[in-house]
Amino acid sequence: MNYFANDAPSFVAVKGERFAFDGNEHATLRVMIQKIQPVRKLFKNGELICYSMDGRISTHGKYCLFCDD
């Protein structure tokens, strides 16, 4: 295993109790995390209402749990 390879990063999404990445869903993951960046997105009726790249402050500058206005 080469920990310093320049491979493209994999992005993991949490869907209920499963993890999704690369088009597949898995019940468990075994990984080595090199960098983490939380991203929160709020959708209403299928439209992106707001997002937070740090998981805390919304695009509207408001600090809230779910980026809600």
pLDDT of residue 6: 66
Residue-by-residue pLDDT tens, the chain, 69 positions: 556 666 666 678 888 889 888 888 999 988 777 776 666 777 777 776 677 766 666 666 666 555 444
Rounded to two decimals, the pTM is 0.41
pLDDT of residue 25: 92
Cα-Cα-Cα-Cα torsion 57, 34, 12, 24, nearest 10 degrees, comes to: 170
**β 40-44/47-52 pair status:** antiparallel
Residue 49 to residue 20: CA distance in whole angstroms: 22
DSSP code at position 56:
S
**β 18-21/24-26 pair status:** antiparallel
DSSP code at position 17:
T
